[in-house]
Amino acid sequence: MKKSILLACLFLISAVVTAQTKKWTLQECVVYALENNISIKQSALDIEAADIERSDAIGNFIPSLNAQVSASSNGGLSINPTNNRFENTRFTSLSGGASTSLTLFDGLRNLRQLERAKLSKLSSQYSLEQMKDDIALFVANSYLQVLFNKQNLEVLKSQSTITRDQLKRTQDLVDAGVLPKGDLLEIQATAANEQQRIIVAENNIQISLISLAQLLLIKDYQNFDIVEADYEIVGNEILANSPYELIEKAKEERYEIKIAEEQKLIAEKDVQIAKGAYLPTLSAFYNYNTRYADNDSFNRDFTQQLYENDGTSYGLQLSIPILNGFATRNQVKRNMINVERAEYRLEQAELDLEANVYQAYVDAQGALKAYEAAQSALEAQDQAYLYATERFDVGLTNAFDFSQSKVRLENAQTELLRTKYDYIFKLKVIELYFGIPVTDLKF
């Protein structure tokens, strides 16, 4: 018994440790979001609804078939259904039949409705793919924010370690009378300030992790964490394309344009459907019926009555629209207005895409320049900090100037991290505009 309890405890501890040590890569986060995000699931439901719409359209080509049965008990003066004579008696009767009809021509509305359903499904599929792109960017941005916060914390901890070492050296120099006590107090204040910044940085990590977990619909915030990989800058060769080349490629690949184009085609199809109401409708029909009564004059049994009392009818029915209160004409006009609106939306989508791609290109170029400037600034601050450290160690500069040099170094390190991940993210935006699938984004 004790052995079983021990094994169970070990199993539970192992499960907890496994859960705690699970760390998510960026690719895992993106894939998980694409599979579980609520907005994506809602867009997928739109495709299912479009399938139902297509099924409805196909059903319009299939003949209708209906059967009916009725039973009644009659008393007093009533018509005997077997001989169509009035009789003053009580009897029970049964009647049944079946009917079928098929639309042969309805102004091509059924055909247009099927074509519209196909366009609607295609539009829903484009909307789903666009939603996936948007979610992938949100996830990537949130993930990179967590990574930035984690690496920023490492910078602060590293600088804090240097400060503690410097604090010890300063204490020795003050004790030896080389430096005034004010320098020691300045270093102590710097160390305390760094501890505060470390606490803030740790909180920022937790907040950004929670934001990412919420985006992924993961509720176990406490055990959620990411792989602390140092992502390199890859894919910057895409900036070799001119913004105009990127814009033309985006017009071919981006779902915003495809959705607007499909919506325009749907609006045009609605006009065709509405115009079909001007034309006649031709349908074929066939009916079969039979009846039974328990007061049959010829004393026929149930089966014989059903066989001998049956009847059929069939034929064609032509319905010609003449006047319907301008309903058809007004519906056509409404749909033509919708076509114009769809054309404007397509034109606006193209203009917005041009502006967004150009802005993304400028942002990426600016992010690259900011990153390169941050690299140069960090190199300069490294040299300045080494120089300040050497001067402080021999008493040629005070603790305040040394602390300011150290703060500038920390800021340069943080800025390099920020500009790096900002540039990586902006490159991903360009890649999506260039038509690279979200699952093939380079990291």
What pLDDT does residue 18 have? 43
What pLDDT does residue 17 have? 42
Kindly report the length of the chain: 443
Q: Tens digits of per-residue pLDDT, 390-433?
A: 887 777 777 778 788 888 888 898 899 899 989 988 888 888 88
Burial class (CB in 10 A: 0-12, 13-18, 19+), 194: buried
Q: Evaluate whether 112 touches 105 at the Cβ level (below 8 Å).
A: no
Token pair 């021999």 is found at 394
- Extract the residue ranges of the chain whose pLDDT is less than 70: 1-21, 81-82, 178, 442-443
Is the dihedral angle over the CA atoms 417, 421, 426, 431 positive or is it negative? positive
Domains in the chain, please, with CATH?
A: 27-62+106-279+321-436 (1.20.1600.10), 72-104+285-320 (no CATH)
| Exposure string over 232-254, b if 16+ CB within 10 A, otherwise e | eeebeebbeeebeebbeebbeeb
What pLDDT does residue 21 have? 59
Q: Tens digits of per-residue pLDDT, 113-168?
A: 999 999 999 999 999 999 998 898 899 889 989 989 998 898 888 888 888 887 88
What pLDDT does residue 13 have? 44
What pLDDT does residue 82 have? 66
List the one residue out of 310, 280, 309 whose CA is nearest residue 296.
309
